[in-house]
């Protein structure tokens, strides 16, 4: 697709060298991270403190942490690469794939999570259904978080390899050990405070590339003109114009995949059932703060493409060499995954380079810490306590949380090495979400909105949805022509396949759950108070002024979202 001649990468193995100032900035950051971990260790003595931060966070702190837990290396590195690979279509994952789901979580689902005082999504399923459904969701979530943590480690190693020339194995171990120390000491307290610190560092450092890149290209219109010149006949700069047919966009997807597969299933599933992000909101000090946190995060989320997607688009317009998929990369080439460090090397000199590297490192730490702390919570509360040690002391569970944090970290290192065999980071990540997140959303939403849903229906529906998704993936992997059935077109790329596979697995989960629920006996309505709509008395917000009601700000966010769709149509 690229019309440029291929220019070999730097023979020396790195693109630039760090100045003493750059090194000082990075070292100061690492010292600050470890210092926060040691300090907050004194505040993480009970299970409530270690796993949900004592429920003392304000709406703004919980909201920034909620967003920052998602704004890790996968966002900074993976989506910049996805923007190079698929153009501005990657922004759909930030706007339609995030904002409606974040608002739905705030207004509809958060009252149940918060009122039930659950430590996790599997914890809610245990209260709503039974141990079997909760245990299945906990196991699948634990597997996913470990695999996701490994992707974060791999992403950090890619940056160190490209920009600094460091050995990729050394980079993986340095990043993993640092995260392990401060999360094991302070639990979610450490993760949240570091995420808020990293949120500002990420924005400060990541803004450098878009600003300097737009200056070089002559603004947005200049960048678009260069992309059209470099890629004639391929629409990489419009959100919706090319989605009328599978063959008229670089992803090979139709609008139905974006609306139903991404917005209605994967986006909703991730932001409402992935405990990595939901855990942050549960740390809010009261229900209103818990509802406002995702809404506050939604406003910031709408701006994130300007520091994540824009670097990938700028790379399409300014890089003089062709980036390739990771799994076909040859010596002297760079992969899609390396877009961001390549752009960092292009624009940042002494001082600015240190700030940019620190922003990336902050993202890696945020992503790894979020996954590892979520894994520790689910393992301790929803697997270990339920199935192995029911009546241990609170201090025992905190100790278990710290130990399994380190064990999870070691397993994540193995997952980091496994990522090296995939074409790109985001194709891999979306495949994981289609396996685990899409069917789980079907189970949770039926449990909350339909009191007739039974434990047997939920268990078999979740199992059927998960296995069907993995099955579809394997069929396409070993028989590629099957993609025209799963993704409705032979033009579909892997990202499009992920969207449709998520939709089918969700439908299978819902269909099996409803069918079995209608054939089995539901729980008495009296046992569902606080767990299901229609059986739960929700606190009224009628006494609050309009501008203090979460529903008002959710409406404002939706108006802004629609405006963005029109602007970039």
**DSSP per position, 152-174:** HHHHHHHHIIIII---HHHHHHH
User: What does the block give as tokens for 396?
Assistant: 């025992």
> Is pLDDT larger for residue 17 or for residue 248?
248
Greatest distance between any 2 Cα atoms in the chain: 70
Q: Identify the pLDDT of residue 484.
A: 94
Q: Which residues of 278-316 are buried (b: 16+ CB within 10 A; e: fewer)?
A: bbbbbbbeebbbbbbbbbbbbbbbbebbbbbbbbbbbbb
Decide which of 184 and 528 is more confident: 528
Task: Read off the pLDDT band of 543 (50, 70, 90).
Answer: confident
In whole angstroms, what is the distance from residue 491 CA to residue 483 CA?
Answer: 9
| Any domain includes 318 | yes
Q: What is the pLDDT of residues 372-419, one digit of tens each?
A: 767 777 777 777 777 777 777 767 766 776 677 777 777 777 777 777
Are 446 and 453 a contacting pair, CB within 8 Å?
yes
User: How many structural domains comprise the chain?
Assistant: 1
Instruction: Answer whether residue 346 shows pLDDT above 90.
Output: no
CATH at 248: 1.20.1730.10
pLDDT of residue 377: 73
Select the more confidently predicted residue: 181 or 12. Answer: 181
Range of the domain at 36: 20-423+545-567
Pairwise pLDDT comparison (170 vs 164), residue with the higher score: 170
Q: Is the pLDDT of residue 533 over 50?
A: yes
pLDDT value at residue 27: 76
Place of tokens 């917005």: 263
User: Is 205 part of a structural domain of the chain?
Assistant: yes
pLDDT score, position 119: 61
Tell me the two tokens of residue 242: 């090319």
Question: Is a pLDDT exceeding 60 seen at residue 56?
Answer: no
For 431, half-sphere exposure in the C-beta direction (CA atoms, 13 angstrom radius) is 20
* Mean per-residue pLDDT, 133-153: 83
* Residue 348, pLDDT score: 74
Phi-psi region of 137 (alpha: psi -120 to 50; beta: other; left: phi over 0): alpha
- The reported pLDDT for the residue numbered 46 is 44
Instruction: Please tell me the predicted confidence (pLDDT) of residue 206.
Output: 67
For the chain, helix, strand, coil in percent to 5 are 75, 0, 25
Dihedral of alpha carbons 224, 227, 231, 234, sign: negative
CA distance readout (Å), 498 to 358, 433, 444:
32, 8, 21
In a domain, 7, yes or no: no
Asked whether the beta carbons of 419 and 198 are under 8 A apart, the reply is no
DSSP state for residue 57 in the 8-state scheme: B
Q: Is the pLDDT assigned to residue 79 strictly greater than 50? A: yes
Give dist(CA 152, CA 419) in Å, integer.
10
The pLDDT value recorded for residue 203 is: 66
The pLDDT value given to residue 420:
72
Residue 47: the pLDDT is 44
421 or 148: which leads in pLDDT: 148
Confidence of residue 254 (pLDDT cuts 50, 70, 90): very high
- Would residue 531 count as lying in a domain? no
Four-residue CA torsion sign, 492, 495, 501, 506: negative
Q: Give me the DSSP letters along 346-399.
A: HH--TTHHHHHHHHHHHHHHHHHHHHHHHHHHIIIIIIIHHHT-SS--HHHHHH
102 inside domain: yes
User: Mean pLDDT over residues 173-182, rounded?
Assistant: 65
44: its two tokens: 């993480």
Backbone angles phi, psi at 57, to 5 degrees: -85, 140
Percentage of residues in the chain having pLDDT higher than 90: 29
460 within domain boundaries: no
Confidence of residue 51 (pLDDT cuts 50, 70, 90): very low
Mean pLDDT of the chain: 78
pLDDT tens profile 108-140: 888 777 776 666 677 788 888 988 998 898 888
Q: Tell me if 506 is assigned to some domain.
A: no
* pLDDT attached to residue 475: 95
pLDDT for residue 71: 67
- Whole-model pTM: value is 0.81
Q: Is residue 69 part of a domain?
A: yes
Segment (H or E) for 1: none
Most confident option among 191-195, 333-337, 489-493: 489-493
Span 307-329, average pLDDT:
81
Which of the residue ranges 159-173, 214-228, 311-325 has the most confident prediction, judged by mean pLDDT?
A: 214-228
């Amino acid at each position: 697709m690229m019309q440029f001649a291929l220019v070999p990468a730097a023979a020396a193995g790195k693109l630039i060298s760090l100045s003493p100032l750059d090194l000082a900035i990075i070292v100061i950051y690492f010292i600050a991270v470890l210092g926060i971990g040691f300090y907050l260790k004194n505040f993480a003595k009970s299970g409530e403190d270690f796993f949900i931060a004592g429920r003392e966070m304000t709406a703004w702190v919980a909201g920034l942490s909620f967003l920052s837990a998602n704004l890790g290396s996968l966002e900074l590195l993976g989506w910049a690469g996805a923007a190079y690979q698929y153009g501005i279509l990657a922004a759909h994952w930030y706007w339609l794939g995030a904002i409606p789901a974040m608002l739905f979580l705030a207004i509809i689902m958060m009252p149940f999570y918060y009122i039930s005082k659950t430590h996790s999504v599997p914890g809610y399923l245990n209260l709503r259904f039974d141990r079997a459904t909760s245990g299945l969701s906990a196991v699948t979530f634990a597997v996913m978080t470990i695999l996701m943590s490994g992707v974060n480690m791999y992403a950090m190693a890619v940056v160190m390899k490209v920009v600094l020339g460091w050995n990729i194995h050394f980079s993986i171990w340095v990043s993993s050990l640092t995260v392990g120390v401060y999360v094991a000491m302070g639990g979610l307290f450490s993760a949240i405070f570091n995420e808020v610190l990293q949120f500002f560092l990420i924005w400060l450092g990541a803004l450098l590339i878009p600003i300097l890149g737009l200056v070089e290209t002559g603004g947005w219109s200049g960048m678009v003109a260069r992309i059209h010149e470099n890629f004639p006949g391929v629409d990489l700069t419009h959100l919706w114009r090319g989605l009328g047919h599978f063959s008229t966009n670089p992803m090979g997807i139709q609008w139905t995949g974006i609306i139903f597969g991404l917005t209605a299933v994967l986006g909703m599933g991730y932001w409402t059932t992935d405990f990595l992000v939901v855990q942050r909101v549960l740390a809010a000090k009261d229900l209103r703060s818990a509802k406002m946190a995702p809404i506050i995060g939604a406003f910031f989320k709408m701006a994130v493409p300007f520091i994540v997607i824009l670097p990938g688009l700028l790379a399409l317009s300014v890089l003089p060499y062709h980036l390739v998929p990771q799994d076909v990369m040859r010596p002297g080439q760079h992969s899609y995954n390396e877009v961001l460090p390549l752009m960092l090397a292009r624009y940042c000199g002494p001082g600015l380079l240190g700030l940019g590297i620190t922003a990336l490192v902050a993202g890696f730490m945020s992503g790894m810490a979020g996954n590892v702390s979520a894994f520790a919570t689910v393992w301790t509360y929803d697997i270990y306590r339920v199935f192995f040690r029911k009546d241990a002391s609170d201090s025992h569970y905190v100790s278990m949380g710290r130990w399994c944090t380190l064990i999870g970290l070691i397993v994540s290192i193995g997952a980091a090495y496994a990522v090296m065999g995939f074409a790109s980071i985001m194709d891999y990540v979306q495949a994981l979400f289609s396996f685990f997140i899409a069917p789980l959303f079907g189970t949770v939403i039926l449990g909350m909105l339909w009191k007739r849903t039974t434990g047997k229906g939920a268990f078999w529906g979740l199992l059927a949805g998960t296995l069907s998704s993995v099955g579809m993936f394997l069929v396409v992997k070993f028989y590629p022509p099957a993609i025209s059935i799963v993704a409705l077109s032979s033009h579909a790329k892997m990202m499009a396949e992920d969207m449709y596979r998520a939709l089918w697995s969700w439908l299978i989960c819902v269909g099996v759950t409803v069918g079995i629920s209608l054939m089995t006996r539901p729980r008495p309505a009296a046992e569902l108070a606080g767990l299901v709509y229609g059986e739960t008395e929700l606190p009224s917000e009628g006494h609050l002024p309009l501008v203090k009601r979460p529903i008002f700000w959710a409406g404002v966010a939706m108006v802004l979202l629609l405006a963005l769709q029109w602007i970039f149509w």
